[in-house]
Each structure stands twice: as structure tokens, then as C-alpha cells.
């Protein structure tokens, strides 16, 4: 959302409905556009009766916006997306004040001033990659488990909207409960408090949200989930430098980002883009993690650098950030991920580099 749109939403949040809530609180504003002083948007009411009852609110919203400096024109259309209510006294009134927020993930964002943290959460670390498929989700799951094994209170938010893989990797996939109808209870697996967009959308269904909807979904995943007291919340980001990254970087108090890359040039080029985005968003890059560093043949012990060698270390030196881990390519790691028990939760030697990475983060006070 642009600064102009933020300003309009803040003003609209001050226009009260008869029940004391606002159009913003009730998430009724759609298609907000601000262009050279001309503001237009749709008030989307749940049904025709509510739309009718909002006539006065539309006029109040118009007056409020027209009084803002720089606003030259205001166009508002009020529509109803539900069926028309039956006439007479049975017509549905506006929902009462204090209506619980929607538990359906994916809504328009509410206005927010500056970056916000998550209450009770000491550190929020984004795990990012430029390129897809380099092992960001694998690293997130294993690092979360390794930190939990060291006694830290760890949360893992799977924000990979386009391909949530934590339900499979952490071996749990059910719809989270909401006993109070307001907050969403996260799930728990391998000692980690877990929330994934994958828990909220039917299997195989694509998420086709645009910027503002993604922003709303991220707000909900951070603010509406009962994360509780956490030493660290890891966020498994989608690959690349899209809306989710921008939203989180601009709206969330991130402690920093860990960037995962393979040693391959194409992955590194994309990783550099990701790093540059975090720099622009003033999110510290805490370090790089090289995944699929080397492959050791389980039969003969021969070591092969399938994706090249030394690229991530060189990049880290160039950027003056630490190379925090070099993780081998191993069939066991892939099988563990697919089976829902991350290798860091096992006694395999492959858990060791994750335990070391976790220790390092704890030592420097990041987790």
C-alpha cells in the first residue's frame, strides 16, 4: 500500500459506523486508488440491507476525505456481494461492535503506522533466498528444530504463500483451532510452534492474491496467531523479491534476514538481488547459508561439489557478512524433509551443522 493509500485508510478508520466500528475495521474497503489527488474506492457490504444502512457512512467518508489536503476528487461506490435481504424487519443489521476478526486468512490490510513487532516475540528472523528450490524451507525447518533442541522457544511461520512446504516438512497438517473465535492457535511439531498458510487453504488450491491481500494475510499471520512467548520467530519466505518480502520488510520489526543460496552462479545472482532488497528496506542481513555445498557419496565417500565451490563464501566476504553454515547435499536430508521429521530432529550426523548454526545464533544473542 502506498503512503497516499495509507493516509486515506487512516482517515477512513476515523469514520464510524452506527455500531461504533469503522469501514476499515470491518474490512469493507476494496479497490482503493489514489491518483493525482483523485481518490476512488468501493465499499463492499456483505448484503443489500447493510449496503443501504451504510448510506450515511458513505457521505461521512466522502466529507472526511474531501477535507484532506491534496484530495481533489472522491468517488465512492457502495455495493453488496451477498444476496439481497428479504424486505421487512428481518433485514440483517450491521454486525455488532466487537465482531471477531475474520479467521479466513487473506483480507485487505488494516492501516498501520511504521514497523511493528509481535507481542511476546523477542526476535523475528526472515529466512530468504533469491532463487526458488535452493533449500530455504529445509533450512528453516531444521534450524527451528535445532533451536528448539537447545531449549529455545521457537516459532516458525511458513509465509511461502505460493508453495507452503512446512506442513509436509514438519509432518503436521490440520486446520488450527480458534477457541475464542478471535485468535488462531498455532500448531506444534518437534518442539516448534508452527503456523503455515498451507493450514488455512485447501490442499492443491492456488493462492492468487495481489499486493494488498498479501499484506493483509501477513498481518493476520503475525498479529492474529497466538504465538505466545518466543525467543525467536523464523519466517520461511517465498523465493524472490516480491510483495511478501516488501510487506514484511516495511511493516514488521525484523531482527534481520538469513539468506540461503547454493554455490551455483545463478542462485548467487538472485541471492545478491535479495540482499540488495533487504539493504534498501534497512533489514540487516545476518549472514549467508550455503546449502547443497558438497555431496559425499554414501557408498564410496567421494566428495563432489555438484553446484560449484566457494561462491557463497566469496560473496559473504565481499558483503562483509558471515557465512554461517555450509550444509551438504544429502539424500537423507531430502527423505527426512519429505517424511515430516527434519533431519535436525534425528541423531544423524547431518543434524550437526544445524545444531552448530543454532548454537551460533544463540551465542550472538539472535535466538
Which parts of this chain interact with ligand ATP (CB under 6 A)? Answer: 129, 132-138, 160, 163, 165, 239, 291-292, 327, 329-330, 333-334, 337
Beta-strand pair 192-196/154-158: parallel
What 3-state class would DSSP assign to 176? coil
115 is in an annotated binding site: no
- Here the cell at position 35 is 491518483
- Element (H or E) spanning 124, and its range? strand 121-128
Nearer to ligand ATP, 134 or 248 (CB): 134
C-alpha span between 93 and 19 (Å, rounded): 10
- Here the cell at position 79 is 455495493
Residue with the shortest CB distance to ligand ATP = 132
Please enumerate in sequence order all residues whose Cβ is within 8 A of that of 227, keeping only pairs 6 or more positions apart, or say none: 118, 120, 121, 155, 186, 193, 195, 233
117 is in an annotated binding site: no
E strands present in 237-329: 256-261, 285-296, 303-304, 323-329
**Residue 234 Cβ, how far from ligand ATP at the closest point, in Å?**
13
Nearer to ligand ATP, 75 or 339 (CB): 339
Nearer to ligand ATP, 132 or 308 (CB): 132
181 is in an annotated binding site: no
**Residue 164 Cβ, how far from ligand ATP at the closest point, in Å?**
9
Nearer to ligand ATP, 176 or 242 (CB): 242
362 is in an annotated binding site: no
77 is in an annotated binding site: no
**Residue 68 Cβ, how far from ligand ATP at the closest point, in Å?**
42
- Here the cell at position 260 is 540461503
C-alpha span between 107 and 220 (Å, rounded): 8
- Here the cell at position 342 is 527434519
Nearer to ligand ATP, 4 or 332 (CB): 332
**Residue 284 Cβ, how far from ligand ATP at the closest point, in Å?**
21
282 is in an annotated binding site: no
Q: Are 248 and 126 in contact (CB under 8 A)?
A: yes
Nearer to ligand ATP, 109 or 337 (CB): 337
What 3-state class would DSSP assign to 119? coil
135 is in an annotated binding site: yes
**Residue 8 Cβ, how far from ligand ATP at the closest point, in Å?**
34
**Residue 325 Cβ, how far from ligand ATP at the closest point, in Å?**
11
- Helices and strands in the chain, H and E counts: 12, 12
Cite the annotated binding site by residue number.
Answer: 130-137
Cite the annotated binding site for ATP by residue number.
Answer: 130-137
Amino acid at each position: 500500500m502506498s503512503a497516499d493509500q495509507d493516509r486515506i485508510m487512516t482517515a477512513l478508520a476515523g469514520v464510524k459506523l452506527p455500531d461504533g466500528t469503522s469501514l476499515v475495521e470491518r474490512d469493507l474497503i476494496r479497490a482503493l486508488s489514489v491518483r493525482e489527488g483523485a481518490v476512488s474506492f468501493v465499499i463492499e457490504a456483505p448484503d443489500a440491507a447493510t449496503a443501504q444502512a451504510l448510506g450515511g457512512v458513505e457521505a461521512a467518508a466522502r466529507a472526511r476525505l474531501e477535507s484532506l489536503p491534496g484530495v481533489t476528487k472522491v468517488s465512492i461506490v457502495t455495493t453488496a456481494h451477498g444476496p439481497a435481504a428479504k424486505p421487512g424487519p428481518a433485514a440483517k443489521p450491521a454486525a455488532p461492535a466487537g465482531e471477531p476478526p475474520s479467521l479466513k486468512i487473506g483480507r485487505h490490510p488494516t492501516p498501520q503506522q511504521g514497523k511493528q513487532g509481535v507481542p511476546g516475540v523477542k526476535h523475528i528472523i526472515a529466512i530468504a533466498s533469491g532463487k526458488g528450490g535452493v533449500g530455504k524451507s529445509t533450512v528453516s525447518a531444521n534450524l527451528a528444530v535445532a533451536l528448539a533442541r537447545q531449549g529455545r522457544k521457537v516459532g516458525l511461520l511458513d509465509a511461502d504463500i505460493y508453495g507452503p512446504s512446512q506442513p509436509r516438512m514438519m509432518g503436521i497438517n490440520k486446520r488450527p483451532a480458534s477457541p475464542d473465535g478471535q485468535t488462531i492457535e498455532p500448531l506444534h511439531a518437534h518442539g516448534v510452534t508452527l503456523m503455515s498458510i498451507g493450514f488455512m487453504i485447501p490442499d492443491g488450491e492456488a493462492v492468487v492474491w495481489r499486493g494488498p491481500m498479501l499484506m493483509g494475510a501477513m498481518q493476520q499471520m503475525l498479529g492474529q496467531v497466538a504465538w505466545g512467548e518466543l525467543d525467536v520467530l523464523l519466517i520461511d519466505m517465498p523465493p524472490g523479491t516480491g510483495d511478501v518480502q516488501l510487506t514484511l520488510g516495511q511493516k514488521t520489526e525484523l531482527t534481520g534476514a538469513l539468506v540461503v543460496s547454493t554455490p551455483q552462479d545463478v542462485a548467487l545472482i538472485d541471492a545478491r538481488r535479495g540482499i540488495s532488497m533487504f539493504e534498501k528496506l534497512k533489514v540487516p542481513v545476518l549472514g549467508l547459508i550455503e546449502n547443497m555445498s558438497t555431496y559425499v557419496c554414501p557408498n564410496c565417500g567421494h566428495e563432489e561439489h555438484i553446484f560449484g565451490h566457494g561462491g557463497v563464501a566469496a560473496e559473504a566476504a565481499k558483503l562483509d557478512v558471515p557465512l554461517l553454515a555450509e550444509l551438504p547435499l544429502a539424500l537423507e536430508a531430502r527423505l527426512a524433509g519429505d517424511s515430516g521429521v527434519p533431519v535436525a530432529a534425528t541423531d544423524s550426523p547431518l543434524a550437526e551443522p544445524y545444531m552448530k548454526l543454532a548454537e551460533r545464533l544463540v551465542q550472538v544473542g539472535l535466538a
